[in-house]
Structure 1
């Protein structure tokens, strides 16, 4: 039963009783004004409002009813029981009275709301003044004017086809693929054998045997109890030897292989209780919905809108047999004959609102076709993503992250983590200090103050900032202490040169330079991403630390790749993933002359004598960096390489530096 989702928009548009009473007071007064003195009984507006509210609540139990109240409630439940919980929004229209004022006819405007449009019609109800009160003379035409005592409404919901997630060139990444639901069909195995079968199947497919056996035991005698869903080719042939085991073929939206960019693409599956609750009536049990990643963030677009059909069908023989005859004191309208000329209509021209679907007791009243989900277009290069994941697969014991951008546009072509965090998306969302890779940002801030790559900076052995002493990294060549060109300070990665120079920077210059390189902006890019933070720095010590990528500066591998792409392309590059949602920079635009100076600096890093000279021929420009992230002695550090070639900008981070060359090795493997 699709009990929750079928409420759709009606669940958010229900009216309270007080509002309905107020709404009908004016209508009642107008009707009575035409026949002064013709109403010896009080107005029927309060009972009319109660009836409208009852129809919205899905029960007439408690209404003041004429005749057999229990029969009326059963009749109502039979008339609406196949609507799967769908109820209308009901407004009270005109109320008219007979000449004696003892019979009132109430118009009820009913609306069933769906994403694609509304179904609207008007029914009527008769109220009678009996024993000093108004009573509802129940008739199934109150529910719909074409219902009779032998028919009922029937609602059917059709799920839309889910859209795909595509990559560069429109290649499908996530699309419907064949899967098999593997489990125990309890109708095909004797009860005495069910526990053993459950445990045997669990062992074959690698699920918890005890938990699955308990689940089988607790399920109904007709149940199919799911153990696991497997891709095509993964179902063990031995399940044929397990009594009651079955593999039911179906489809799910999946990437081309298990764990492909799953931290980014996410997963989809049958709606959980949480997804149903969060769906605000648009998601029902059995729907396929996004559960994580892009699948969840863009679920509404991918899922589309279900189709809806409402018909009149005959009541079943058992229903008719259970309904007692109408009591003699019921009004003449209790026969349930449809009102002559009554009909239904839709406010949407695309909806079918009439037509026969079978016998004389069957009629299509309303239909809306399902609207299939639309594809979500990403920039991911399927083969480059495959290659990136393959390279990182070798690092099973540590976290290594890599991002590859189109250096000209910022399109994210690949983003992955090593298998230790296979279901996470740290390459795009992680927040880490960038270490010496930040010196490119600081260099831009200095260039904007008039420096060039040949300008001299002071690379002292130590730098004392407001009483705190900073050092260069262990092994820094002392021959390059003193006044050296900015180019050499970047090439050799002198910490103190940038710390000393930072004293002349205003609090926001570093942040502005970072924004010009695609770092530190708060952007809505349509996917879970961290573009970094570079706060305004009033404290000179923090500003000095931030100048070399410590302090309060944080970036993701994706954000740092933008630094290389901006320098390489000659303009500010902002990484993006969705082709229809490309975020724009909110920072000062990087100029070509500024970028040329940065390329000079980064080019020196891969030349002879640079800290990444071993990558000459792989990268045209680069910067390495280490960043402390613990207070240990010595502290643990992240290890970074960021750079570009003639096509790509790449950023690779090893979470815990072990003194090796993993980031360099990964870059070489990716670009070779």
Structure 2
């Protein structure tokens, strides 16, 4: 087939070859070079538009000056912005017409704002330069107009508990602060100091914040729940400028309710904004810590965006998107059970915890950390030697080695291993010494009998038994969590101490509650906090949550999970603790029979040893661990907490 342009193009090629020039689109190479220069000029303008500033003389206004783009687009904040060259016409009479495509991409928005604008590039001397017009920034933008983006966050979704009962929902509060329009400059520091002292915030920092704020500012000191002591104290401050305004914010039932797990909702910090890669903007309300942070993207939803041209006779909306509401996060926590656990711990001075699981489902009903934990989730993150509560694990290993509840074992006051002497707990009953059934040694927690039992085990038997009761699996709670760690012990004193839950053995209250739950269920129980969460924290969690908040995915299934028959023997032994051992005070707790195991673990320097206090229990479809970081022994310190909790629930 012959191209209609074939003859002429062929002649042009021959002539061009003879003249030593090239052709492009019917033009000589000289024309081609001008077209490329025009395109490069358009690309330079596009680059400046995307960066928000022109610095290379790529564009000029009618006077030849480089326009100041920054004020025009400053109101768009850190919204992602790309500009590409769609097309450039062939130059004619020293000018070319280009089409630029803008795309503004707000992270998390429901849609991008994409549009095309015209640009004229002209040859000025030997250089091609863009011709400035406000319309190259946005369609029909006028000389006095500037772009501004606004965000309107949807209502934050609730955090729900067992049965869909709201845990975190909008609750009434008072925003308490100083209104600088209502206090003179000479009195502002005095008012700020009086308010800070009354509501318990850092006085010097607050006074400085108030002094540095603008004359029209309201400087918030604290947000207090309606009816709180802080609200009452603020209302009693007799100083000009003190202002309380009503609002609602997402809150749990009480200020302490599962606080380390839930986190709070507050203003986005500069660090959070930076890490969010555009999803969060200054002024947004976001989750800070805990589940509120880990699942912030789910709970906060997507804000409505509006791009407005301001500065003209009236503001014009150029682009807008609808908000997408957040999705509720459903937890397994039972409000009444959690409140009961926190009530039991409210006067415990050291770090403490109560964790309650439902063995049939693995649901965490309560994960309470006492005030002595100082904001740390001792319940789910504590790492402590579990002491004799770990004898449930050691017993499983011994059962698998051939020991039975009726087997005769030797319980002596002391036993020496590699020169180190181990003894039973102070006050150990003399009636349980000597050659006794294993069930008696378990009920009274005979350390020496268990240490002697180590001779019947292989190094891997303890870690295998721990895994078989769910203690060393990875926890998938959506927030940082730890169950336990049981390394293979070294022969000698390490092995001896490991048998009684010391040395390198570590567990959290959640971990020991999981052990109790697995014994109750007759199978390995995996604790569940967020309904539907089966992987790590990435399942539903915000991608901009701090890296350390990620929770490992569950470990593979244990190679030797506890069997129903083994669990039945363990339950019988734990009932013996209540009927004849250290847990006799639990025998009359109303409801199903209580099964238990106490634990004491020494820690600290020789000569000044202190004791962790533990007690785990089972009652019907409830498994519980009570823990106090520093006490007088498991049955003495943790036992009454377990009893009070069981009686309250």
| TM-score w.r.t. length of structure 2 | 0.85
Structure 1, residues 233-270: CA drift from partner, whole Å, max 9, x if none?
Answer: 23237458432221122222111122222122121111
1:91 to 79, 84, 96: 84
Distance in 1, matches of 2:265 and 2:486, equals 35
Distance in 2, matches of 1:152 and 1:480, equals 86
Q: What corresponds to 2:154 in structure 1? A: 160
Local SS of the residue matching 1:59: coil
Q: What corresponds to 2:132 in structure 1? A: 138
Distance in 2, matches of 1:219 and 1:117, equals 36
Q: What corresponds to 2:98 in structure 1? A: 106
Structure 1, residues 311-335: CA drift from partner, whole Å, max 9, x if none?
Answer: 4x46336xxxxxxxxxxxxxxxxxx
Compare 563-572 and 580-589 and name the one that shifted more: 580-589
Q: Does structure 1 residue 487 correspond to structure 2 residue 439?
A: yes
Local SS of the residue matching 1:593: helix
Q: What corresponds to 1:602 in structure 2? A: 574
- Change in Cα spacing, 1:540 to 1:95, as seen in structure 2 (3 Å) is farther
- Change in Cα spacing, 1:314 to 1:273, as seen in structure 2 (3 Å) is closer
* 8 Å contact kept, 1:263–1:422: no
Q: Does structure 1 residue 641 correspond to structure 2 residue 641?
A: no
Q: What corresponds to 1:621 in structure 2? A: 595
CA drift of 1:431 comes to 0.5
Structure 1, residues 357-379: CA drift from partner, whole Å, max 9, x if none?
Answer: xx8x94x4432211122111111
Compare 597-606 and 520-529 and name the one that shifted more: 520-529
- Change in Cα spacing, 1:486 to 1:285, as seen in structure 2 (3 Å) is same
Q: Does structure 1 residue 177 correspond to structure 2 residue 171?
A: yes
Q: What corresponds to 2:637 in structure 1? A: 662
Compare 531-540 and 130-139 and name the one that shifted more: 531-540
1:368 to 309, 312, 321: 321
Structure 1, residues 281-300: CA drift from partner, whole Å, max 9, x if none?
Answer: 22222111111222122222
Q: Does structure 1 residue 307 correspond to structure 2 residue 282?
A: no
Matches within 5 A, 1:242-321: 242-311=239-308, 313=309, 315-316=311-312
**Unaligned residue ranges in structure 2 (runs of 5+):** 1-21, 536-553
Q: What corresponds to 1:534 in structure 2? A: 486
* 8 Å contact kept, 2:520–2:621: no
Distance in 2, matches of 1:523 and 1:455, equals 36
Distance in 2, matches of 1:87 and 1:384, equals 47
- Change in Cα spacing, 1:46 to 1:543, as seen in structure 2 (3 Å) is farther
Local SS of the residue matching 2:59: coil
Local SS of the residue matching 1:43: helix
Distance in 1, matches of 2:335 and 2:475, equals 25
Q: What corresponds to 1:15 in structure 2? A: none
Structure 1, residues 333-384: CA drift from partner, whole Å, max 9, x if none?
Answer: xxxxxxxxxxxxxxxxxxxxxxxxxx8x94x443221112211111111111
CA drift of 1:121 comes to 2.3
Distance in 2, matches of 1:633 and 1:203, equals 43
- Change in Cα spacing, 1:239 to 1:72, as seen in structure 2 (3 Å) is farther
- Change in Cα spacing, 1:525 to 1:204, as seen in structure 2 (3 Å) is closer
* 8 Å contact kept, 2:79–2:278: no
* 8 Å contact kept, 1:239–1:245: no
Compare 440-449 and 582-591 and name the one that shifted more: 582-591
* 8 Å contact kept, 2:352–2:378: no
Q: What corresponds to 2:373 in structure 1? A: 421
Distance in 2, matches of 1:574 and 1:410, equals 6
Q: What corresponds to 2:582 in structure 1? A: 611
* 8 Å contact kept, 2:181–2:216: yes
* 8 Å contact kept, 1:402–1:416: yes
Distance in 1, matches of 2:218 and 2:419, equals 72
* 8 Å contact kept, 2:516–2:618: yes
1:580 to 529, 532, 541: 532
1:651 to 618, 625, 641: 625
Local SS of the residue matching 2:484: coil
- Change in Cα spacing, 1:71 to 1:46, as seen in structure 2 (3 Å) is closer
Distance in 1, matches of 2:500 and 2:222, equals 50
* 8 Å contact kept, 1:91–1:110: yes
Distance in 2, matches of 1:67 and 1:646, equals 82
Compare 78-87 and 265-274 and name the one that shifted more: 78-87
Distance in 1, matches of 2:431 and 2:76, equals 84
Compare 79-88 and 122-131 and name the one that shifted more: 79-88
Distance in 2, matches of 1:243 and 1:66, equals 54
| TM-score w.r.t. length of structure 1 | 0.82
How many pairs are equivalent?
A: 595
Distance in 2, matches of 1:504 and 1:31, equals 92
Q: CA RMSD in A?
A: 2.7
- Change in Cα spacing, 1:418 to 1:66, as seen in structure 2 (3 Å) is closer
